[in-house]
Chain A
Amino acid sequence: MTLLAIKNLTKRFGGLTAVESLTIDVESGGVHGLIGPNGSGKSTVLNLISGIYRPTEGSIALSGAEITGLKPNQRARVGVGRTFQNIRLFPTLTVLQNVMMGRVTQQHGSLMGIVLNSPLVRREVKETTDRAREALRFMGIETFADEFHRNLPYGHQRLVEIARVLASGAKLMLLDEPAAGLNSSEKKNLGHLLTRMCDVFGSTVLLVEHDMRLLMSVSRTVSAVNFGKLIVTGSTANVQSDPDVIKAYLGAGSSK
């Protein structure tokens, strides 16, 4: 089943075309890798899907429902979650509170309810806390729940951000270079976590990652883009042996 349908997506900044009539379908469940040389438009695609940019042309649909015109917070509500290349956690909130913020759209207790600590609010807070702790436990960092993220090692901060998306129960998780800045054992751990996440929670991940070994080991399907255009979408093996993909990488002078 198609979860995310991107159709003829185009984004121009002034005269520069960052993404050009891109069409990608992301199937529900598992990791879908998005690769391309530096500056090929991968980050722009993520920003378009999460609503930070408005597309110049084209449409984006989640589970068949059009989301092209929605604001980022509205997209979060319908199930789009993401992480950032440069970690964006809230500095004055604890790790647990940060992860709980991932579920902000699922809580409906009114202001009055919060002040009076109504049964609804109490139930929501408990559920949110449980879900957040579960996500942290899954990531193996529950012990840091009450720490501030800046006191955590960099690799753990990445995991907190992923936990925030996981706890939100987003249908589609956009991960923007989650392995950047991690050492090799942290990368290996991340790979396991991503695979397990899809198995255990049935998550769907659209993964942008420069570490090819990691990306290829976790992805079920891979799309390769260059100059904002789709080269190919296919299984990892097919994409890796695709002559156009190889040319794009070698041609761009970028090692893998």
Chain B
Amino acid sequence: MRLLQLVALAFLICGLVNLLGLSAYTGSILIFASINILLCLGFYVIFGLTGILSLAHAAFMAIGAYTSGILSSTYGWPIPASVLAGTAAAALAGALLGIPTLRLKSHYLVLVTIAFGEVLRQMLINFEGLTGGLTGLAVAMPSPVEWFGVTINPGNRTVYLLICLLSIAVVVFALDRLRRSRVGHSFEAVRDDELAASVVGIDLTYTKILAFVISAALAGYGGALSAHFVGFISPDYFTFDITVLVLAMVVIGGKRSIVGVIIGALLLTFLPEALRSLQDWYPTFYGVLLLLTLWLAPYGIVGRLEQISFFRKLLAPRTAVIEPVEAARP
């Protein structure tokens, strides 16, 4: 994938949206879909590529959202700077959570990451002076900027959508390059055989913490983007349920492929909107969809599609969705 093509695609989508004159409501849904894609790409790095099931995604989002929200609203930072700071804070939290959990077995790690999320949420509630506690915090909305005589207003939905889409373009481009490099291959090696990976020369500590950092940074960035779009944050936005939703998107779309997690994010953003009448049954809907995926398509929608040759060519070069099988001894 070329960066230019991706950027062009972002502009194209945005132009189409503008041309069709979609409602404010549809605009918002598109923005939320874009943010969900960013969150899912972060989850893909740690879970799909590196095989670490860390369920602190909502916590990293909260760190990004609150850092950016507090810096911009309370301390008057410009929003681009505060969003970057939020992303960096989430990345740092990812590294800090990554270090003590490196040696833990998978079930312990799951527990520690869930617990981390809950503790963070209660801290957000407890430190009222800074965070606004349970009532939440009003967050600065982006204001117009003038670049070379052209006024750009990110508060405008279309512009905000463009910012989100361009972010996705850059992230997808970067992740795709990483995935096909020695770094991406190291992630996969660590996921499938830690011992062989370290004997080959891969530094397990560095690799796992790197995965944590990339994943947390993307979650923090997504959290900050959503904070400044909604204009309000509260601890209720960052519950464990959000992590489960992201997990569901990634698993249903296809945890081992970039295209897969994007499909999952889009599906689970738009489907509920299309099925408004089922609103009260959303959790059941997600639950059943998850179970069906686990039963019928362990590598998600994309994993299934890859088995059809037409799609395999379409998804080329290769999305690494093959099922690991033990080598048979004669």
Q: Which residues of A contact B189 (CB under 8 A)?
A: 90, 93, 101
Contact (Cβ within 8 A) A73 B324: no
Residue in A73, A117, A125, A181 whose Cβ sees the most chain B Cβ within 10 Å: A73
Q: How far is the CA of A213 from the CA of B193 in the complex (A)?
A: 32
Is residue B20 contacting chain A, with contact meaning CB distance below 8 A?
no
Is residue A148 contacting chain B, with contact meaning CB distance below 8 A?
yes
Is residue A164 contacting chain B, with contact meaning CB distance below 8 A?
yes
Is residue B312 contacting chain A, with contact meaning CB distance below 8 A?
no
Contact (Cβ within 8 A) B199 A72: yes
Contact (Cβ within 8 A) A114 B330: no
Is residue A59 contacting chain B, with contact meaning CB distance below 8 A?
no
Given A114-B183, A115-B174: A90 and B328 interface contact (C-beta under 8 Å): no
Binary interface encoding of chain B residues 171-194 relative to chain A, with 1 for a CB under 8 A from any of its CBs, else 0: 001100110011101101100110
Which residues of B154-179 are within 8 A (CB) of A?
Answer: 173-174, 177-178
Is residue A102 contacting chain B, with contact meaning CB distance below 8 A?
yes
Q: Which residues of A contact B198 (CB under 8 A)?
A: 71-73, 76
Contact (Cβ within 8 A) B328 A154: yes
Binary interface encoding of chain A residues 32-67 relative to chain B, with 1 for a CB under 8 A from any of its CBs, else 0: 000000000000000000111000000000000000
Q: Which residue of A lies closest to B256 (CB)?
A: A92
Contact (Cβ within 8 A) B199 A52: yes
Is residue B322 contacting chain A, with contact meaning CB distance below 8 A?
yes
Q: Which residue of A lies closest to B178 (CB)?
A: A114
Q: Which residues of A contact B173 (CB under 8 A)?
A: 115
Is residue B201 contacting chain A, with contact meaning CB distance below 8 A?
yes
Instruction: Please report the total number of A residues contacting B with Cβ < 8 Å.
Output: 42
Is residue B84 contacting chain A, with contact meaning CB distance below 8 A?
no
Which residues of B39-85 are within 8 A (CB) of A?
Answer: none
Is residue A111 contacting chain B, with contact meaning CB distance below 8 A?
yes
Q: Name A154's contact: one of B177, B188, B330 (CB within 8 Å).
A: B330
Q: Which residues of B contact A71 (CB under 8 A)?
A: 198
Contact (Cβ within 8 A) A91 B322: yes
Given A50-B199, A150-B327: A92 and B322 interface contact (C-beta under 8 Å): yes
Residue in B182, B201, B256, B330 whose Cβ sees the most chain A Cβ within 10 Å: B201
Is residue A77 contacting chain B, with contact meaning CB distance below 8 A?
yes
Is residue B315 contacting chain A, with contact meaning CB distance below 8 A?
no
Q: Which residue of B lies closest to A121 (CB)?
A: B181
Q: How far is the CA of A107 from the CA of B185 in the complex (A)?
A: 13
Given A114-B178, A115-B178, A154-B328: A104 and B192 interface contact (C-beta under 8 Å): no
Contact (Cβ within 8 A) A88 B193: yes
Is residue B204 contacting chain A, with contact meaning CB distance below 8 A?
yes
Contact (Cβ within 8 A) A111 B178: yes
Q: How far is the CA of A139 from the CA of B296 in the complex (A)?
A: 40
Contact (Cβ within 8 A) B201 A104: yes
Contact (Cβ within 8 A) B185 A101: yes
Q: How far is the CA of A88 from the CA of B193 in the complex (A)?
A: 8
Is residue A100 contacting chain B, with contact meaning CB distance below 8 A?
yes
Contact (Cβ within 8 A) B192 A181: no
Closest beta carbon of chain B to A165's beta carbon, Å: 9
Closest beta carbon of chain B to A116's beta carbon, Å: 8
Contact (Cβ within 8 A) A164 B200: yes
Contact (Cβ within 8 A) B185 A73: no
Residue in B185, B196, B200 whose Cβ sees the most chain A Cβ within 10 Å: B200
Q: How far is the CA of A115 from the CA of B180 in the complex (A)?
A: 10
Q: Which residues of B contact A164 (CB under 8 A)?
A: 200
Is residue B203 contacting chain A, with contact meaning CB distance below 8 A?
yes
Is residue A149 contacting chain B, with contact meaning CB distance below 8 A?
yes
Q: How far is the CA of A114 from the CA of B175 in the complex (A)?
A: 10
Q: Which residue of B lies closest to A76 (CB)?
A: B201
Q: How far is the CA of A50 from the CA of B198 in the complex (A)?
A: 10
Closest beta carbon of chain B to A127's beta carbon, Å: 12
Closest beta carbon of chain B to A206's beta carbon, Å: 14
> Can you list 18 A-B pairs, Cβ within 8 angstroms, ordered by A?
A51-B199, A77-B201, A88-B195, A88-B196, A90-B189, A90-B192, A92-B256, A93-B189, A104-B182, A109-B181, A114-B178, A114-B183, A115-B174, A148-B322, A149-B327, A164-B200, A168-B200, A181-B330
B residues whose Cβ falls under 8 Å from a Cβ of A: 173-174, 177-178, 181-183, 185-186, 188-189, 192-193, 195-204, 210, 256, 320, 322, 324-325, 327-330
- Known A-B contacts: A73-B202, A100-B185, A101-B185. Give 5 more (CB < 8 A): A93-B189, A114-B183, A154-B330, A157-B327, A181-B330
